[in-house]
Amino acid sequence: MTDYTLEAEIARNPATQIIAGVDEVGRGPWAGPVTACAVILDPNNIPDGLRDSKKLTAKRREILFDQIVETAAVGLAHVEVEEIDRINILQASLRAMERAVACLPQQPQFALIDGNKLPPNLPCPAQAIVKGDDKSVSIAAASIVAKVTRDRLMESLAQQYPGYGWETNAGYGTKMHQNGLQNLGVTTHHRRSFKPIHNILCQPVSVTD
């Protein structure tokens, strides 16, 4: 159940009262950045219905996004495709989370990180929580803001690069995305280190007499 239990336990220590939930979205897509968010909720003003962003409708995510931004401290960060290709998607995801924490308007005293790995350069103690967006409202809030932000970005990119379906698939390897790659080729927003894109770029060129 997604609630404030984890945060309340940590906040029993006077040294860890300011708690950030941190999550990222966009590890799997073939195109676009990986986006991370850090959220420090006001324990006296937590929006109702916070849970894993993937389990919410797009309309509900938008409503909660506005409520979170209005009531909580929020930090957002992107790691773009060039950096993803240079350092790999796992390291890019961890780096995005570090930057999201650094972008918070106040430094947290503790961070709850979704997943099983801790970013190495956080400014505070932290705990990694597998399926954290189902267990912590702070992580759930971060997942919602990160997903809405990245989805909006991919919708904007879809207007500049029509034909790949990014407005609906957010850069994942759907049939429409695959067809776009076949018909239109690889864009600057595609992750060249990802196997499907790498394979397209490295296709042998047939030479005829």
**pLDDT digit string, tens, across residues 41-74:** 999 999 999 999 999 999 999 999 999 999 999 9
pLDDT above 60: residue 205: no
CATH topology of domain 5-149: Nucleotidyltransferase; domain 5 (3.30.420)
pLDDT above 50: residue 206: no
Q: How many helices (H) and strands (E) does the chain have?
A: 8, 5
Beta bridge partners of 34: 79
Beta bridge partners of 76: 37
Is residue 203 very low, low, confident or very high in pLDDT (cuts 50, 70, 90)? confident
pLDDT at 204: 62
pLDDT at 41: 98
Could you tell me the residue ranges of all domains in the chain? 5-149
**pLDDT digit string, tens, across residues 150-195:** 999 999 999 999 999 999 999 999 999 999 999 999 999 999 999 9
pLDDT at 209: 41
What is the rounded distance in angstroms from the CA atom of residue 21 to the CA atom of residue 110?
Answer: 9
Report pTM: 0.94
Residue at 144: amino acid letter: I
